Amino acid sequence: MGLVVQKFGGTSVADAVKIRAAARRAIQAHEQGNRVLVVVSARGHTTDELIDLAKEIHERPPSREMDMLLSTGEQISVALMAMAIHAEGVPAISFTGAQIGIVTDSYHTKARIRNISTERMEQALAEGKIVIVAGFQGVDEHYNITTLGRGGSDTTAVALAAVLGADACEIYTDVDGVYTTDPRIVKDARKIDRISFDEMLELASLGAGVMHSRSIEFAKKFGVPIHVRHSGRPDAGSWIVAEGDARRLGARVTGAALAKDEARITLTGVPDKPGVVRTVFGKIAQANLVVDMIVQNVATDGQTEVSFTVASDDLEDTLKVAKEAAKAVGATGVTHDAEVSKVSVVGLGMRTHTGVATTMFHALASAGINIEMITTSEIKISVLVKENVAKQALQLVHQAFELDVPGNDRPLESLPEWTATLALRNSPARPIATTADGNSTGGMEDLVVSGVELDDTQARITLLDVPDRPGYAAKVFDAIAEADVFVDMIVQNVSATGRTHLSFTVPREQLETARAAAGKAVGAENVRVEPKIAKLSVLGVGMRTHTGVATRMFGALADANINITLINTSEVRINVVTDFAAGEAGLRCLIAAFDLTAD
Ligand code: ADP
Ligand code: ASP
Ligand code: MG
């Protein structure tokens, strides 16, 4: 007998009619001979309304009480859903997160699941009941109610699918699948039939609100296929699956995303020496703040700038910590911008295609949109732009990659030889902490690092003092793409003075071609090269949301007295560039720091 987990989002259970329709979906799966577990969200805008109400009463409500309040939204839904199933004459039973033992840590409003005991659910399922579980909530070891963060019902559903060994997790929502970008913002967005876990992880964490990004971490770690479907239509939906099963797109980019409410913080005049970023991000991790888009470019005159973004809501708390950190490391100042947004493109095809960056930068330059910061990973490029042009930027980028054109899929080309070292290794995830044991799974959301990597085949090019104005990056990467050079990391920090540096890495054998092309575009006198660099990476799942991983990486390198010259981060890896000579030692200390064994 199969086991199916179905999750219904807020709009899919907004009123009695919709609850009945959702109930019928569950009953249908039950009648087909499956054991069925249903996860539900709070109805409609209940969670938003509860937050507004709390804020009317207290400007900064205590987070424990916030969780007590927010968890009620889902409790209403489970009871109603169970009643709707009973009304059809089918046995059903509802549970809160606490009742089925979804145990989390104690970080209220953003708790992580530690373990889930399956006993009570399995018993009810064995009795032939449809089991209804409240999404988004759990309980800590002291029986305090916790919630998992906005959108967290997806994570409950995939986690339950994982512990119960479900065949698939069906996500029923108000859109008929995963689109190339948010169809509410770009009306030409198209549905994607199949997308890989890594692409979805990046898209979700970069702003694609259709899935809670932590749910994709679970799906990848535990190999749970996800089927996203419209709750009111019979359409085929989208599958989120392992890379080998995902569509092999010849297209360079699979999707684009916008994170609108971002804030940027920059530490200026940061001394260029080992240990500095460890101190900065260690303090931020201690405060359990999730930073994103960490960018550090090469130093001039012994000083550099370190920038990162956080969700706007976290700006105030993060600024406090950043100021302390600046003092601790001897930085000269802290600046911030509360009105920025992040626009990103994601695609496995990027690993093998040149010219992705130039297409993106061109699209933005064509509308005079300035790029404030750039960071890349193997499968994504993110840029920071002013919030008031962010939607336009997303539309332009979506169009530039022809994501609105149906059927632009082509078979994936084979990897050129020199990109082989850049390809992500598909090694199985190796949990650092505990994993499944019998009926319960310990530390389910603990950090999983699957490996560390040294790539010492690349060279670095830095364009010094580039003007901070629209079109510059497009001009540079046009020339690079024209010369058919494969660009790996691109890093541009925010400009404090109207000028900034732009760095990127290329295969060493293409350095001279790249240097000549860049020189032609911006003047040879502005081009600095470092022919031999070492790129060290930590690979895994959920690198960004686990605030500690960057700190552990930076700390291990600092302990070995290794200086970091470039940083960029993504959901599936953190990359740093160091001196070539430090590569081997760096790799060894990362293997030790992450408790891995050398191959
Ligand atoms: P639910 O309440 O069912 O969890 P959400 O509102 O959390 O639903 O997620 C569905 C919404 O996500 C869609 O209505 C859509 O506007 C938005 N969205 C953002 N990015 C995407 C994307 N790439 N594909 C599909 N929907 C997206
Ligand atoms: N009700 C919660 C929210 O609105 C959880 C969810 O819908 O996934 O964020
Ligand atoms: Mg949602």
The crossing angle, in degrees rounded to 10, of helices 213-222 and 197-205 is 160
Question: What ligand 2 atom has the least distance to the C-alpha of 74?
Answer: 1
The rounded distance, in Å, linking the Cα atoms of 528 and 466 is 12
What count of residues does the chain have?
Answer: 599
User: Is the CB–ligand 1 distance for residue 146 below 6 Å?
Assistant: no
User: Is the CB–ligand 1 distance for residue 213 below 6 Å?
Assistant: no
The rounded distance, in Å, linking the Cα atoms of 370 and 392 is 12
pLDDT score of 415 more than 60: no
**Average pLDDT of the segment spanning 278-290:** 88
Lining residues, ligand 2, CB within 6 Å: 9-10, 41-42, 47, 73, 135-136, 150-154
Q: Which of 370-384, 402-416, 552-566 has the lowest mean pLDDT?
A: 402-416
CA of 17 to the centre of ligand 2 (A): 20
pLDDT score of 45 more than 80: yes
pLDDT score of 439 more than 60: no
pLDDT score of 103 more than 80: yes
The confidence score (pLDDT) of residue 266 equals 93
Q: Which of 247-261, 515-529, 571-585 has the lowest mean pLDDT?
A: 247-261
Q: Which of 376-385, 433-442, 534-543 has the lowest mean pLDDT?
A: 433-442
Determine what percent of the chain is predicted with pLDDT higher than 70.
Answer: 93
19, 173, 215, best to mutate for ligand 1 pocket (most atoms within 8 Å of CB): 173
**Average pLDDT of the segment spanning 309-332:** 94
Q: Closest residue (by CA) to atom 15 of ligand 1? A: 182
How far from chain centre, in Å, is Cα 445?
14
The confidence score (pLDDT) of residue 429 equals 33
Kindly state the tokens that stand for 208: 């694609």
CA of 274 to the centre of ligand 3 (A): 41
Q: Closest residue (by CA) to atom 6 of ligand 1? A: 210
User: Is the CB–ligand 1 distance for residue 9 below 6 Å?
Assistant: yes
**Average pLDDT of the segment spanning 384-410:** 88
**Average pLDDT of the segment spanning 572-592:** 93
Do the beta carbons of residue 294 and residue 284 sit within 8 Å?
Answer: no
Cα distances (angstroms) measured from residue 511 to each of 299, 312, 567 = 21, 39, 20
Beta bridge partners of 36: 4
CATH number of 1-168: 3.40.1160.10
pLDDT in tens, 9-41: 999 999 999 999 999 999 999 999 999 999 999
Architecture of the 258-404+449-593 domain: 2-Layer Sandwich (3.30)
The rounded distance, in Å, linking the Cα atoms of 39 and 44 is 15
Question: What ligand 1 atom has the least distance to the C-alpha of 191?
Answer: 24
CA of 225 to the centre of ligand 3 (A): 17
pLDDT score of 437 more than 50: no
CA of 53 to the centre of ligand 2 (A): 16
CA of 182 to the centre of ligand 1 (A): 7
- 474 burial level (CB within 10 Å; 0-12, 13-18, 19+): buried
User: Is the CB–ligand 1 distance for residue 174 below 6 Å?
Assistant: yes
- 346 burial level (CB within 10 Å; 0-12, 13-18, 19+): buried
Kindly state the tokens that stand for 120: 């009570």
pLDDT score of 292 more than 90: no
Q: 3-class DSSP state for residue 29?
A: helix
**Average pLDDT of the segment spanning 319-342:** 95
Q: String of b and e for 535-572 (b: at least 16 CB within 10 Å)?
A: bbbbbbbbbbbbbebbbbbbbbbbebebbbbbbbbbbb
Q: Note the ligand closest to the C-alpha atom of 39.
A: 2
Kindly state the tokens that stand for 287: 């405060």
Determine what percent of the chain is predicted with pLDDT higher than 90.
Answer: 67
Question: Parallel, antiparallel, or unpaired for β 3-8 and 238-241?
Answer: unpaired
C-alpha closest to that of 351 among 501, 475, 196: 196
Do the beta carbons of residue 567 and residue 296 sit within 8 Å?
Answer: yes
The rounded distance, in Å, linking the Cα atoms of 392 and 384 is 13
The confidence score (pLDDT) of residue 551 equals 85
CB atoms within 10 A of CB 313: 11
**Average pLDDT of the segment spanning 543-563:** 86
Kindly state the tokens that stand for 331: 């930085």
CA of 212 to the centre of ligand 2 (A): 9
The confidence score (pLDDT) of residue 411 equals 39
CA of 511 to the centre of ligand 3 (A): 45
74, 174, 254, best to mutate for ligand 1 pocket (most atoms within 8 Å of CB): 174
pLDDT score of 596 more than 90: no
Question: Parallel, antiparallel, or unpaired for β 333-346 and 303-311?
Answer: unpaired
Question: Parallel, antiparallel, or unpaired for β 440-441 and 448-455?
Answer: unpaired
Q: Which of 331-340, 392-401, 427-436 has the lowest mean pLDDT?
A: 427-436
User: Is the CB–ligand 1 distance for residue 175 below 6 Å?
Assistant: yes
DSSP code per residue over 42-93? -STTHHHHHHHHHHHH-SS--HHHHHHHHHHHHHHHHHHHHHHHHHTT--EE
Do the beta carbons of residue 538 and residue 452 sit within 8 Å?
Answer: yes
pLDDT score of 298 more than 80: no
pLDDT score of 176 more than 50: yes
pLDDT score of 268 more than 80: yes
**Average pLDDT of the segment spanning 177-192:** 96
13, 41, 51, 212, best to mutate for ligand 2 pocket (most atoms within 8 Å of CB): 41
CA of 59 to the centre of ligand 1 (A): 29
How high does pLDDT run on average in the chain?
88
pLDDT score of 432 more than 90: no
Three-state SS for 119-181 is HHHHHHHHCCCEEEEECCEEECCCCCEEECCCCCHHHHHHHHHHHHCCCEEEEEECCCCCECC
The confidence score (pLDDT) of residue 441 equals 38
Kindly state the tokens that stand for 129: 């009941």
Residue 528, phi then psi, degrees to nearest 5: -110, 140
What is the layout of strands, in order, in the sheet containing 113-116? Answer: 113-116, 102-104, 137-139, 145-147
The confidence score (pLDDT) of residue 587 equals 95
pLDDT score of 502 more than 70: yes
CB atoms within 10 A of CB 475: 17
Q: What single letter denotes the amino acid at residue 307?
A: S
- 31 burial level (CB within 10 Å; 0-12, 13-18, 19+): exposed
pLDDT in tens, 487-500: 999 988 877 667 78
pLDDT score of 74 more than 80: yes
pLDDT score of 465 more than 90: no
CA of 9 to the centre of ligand 3 (A): 6
Beta bridge partners of 266: 307, 335
Q: Closest residue (by CA) to atom 8 of ligand 2? A: 151
The confidence score (pLDDT) of residue 417 equals 34
**Average pLDDT of the segment spanning 115-139:** 97
pTM (two decimals): 0.89
Domain boundaries, the chain: 1-168, 258-404+449-593
Residue of 418 and 553 predicted with greater confidence = 553
**Average pLDDT of the segment spanning 150-154:** 97
The confidence score (pLDDT) of residue 154 equals 98
Question: What ligand 2 atom has the least distance to the C-alpha of 153?
Answer: 8
pLDDT band of residue 434 (cuts 50, 70, 90) is very low
Q: Under 8 Å CB-to-CB from 26, ≥6 apart: which residues? A: 6, 36, 38, 81, 85, 130
Question: Parallel, antiparallel, or unpaired for β 3-8 and 499-507?
Answer: unpaired
Q: Closest residue (by CA) to atom 5 of ligand 2? A: 151
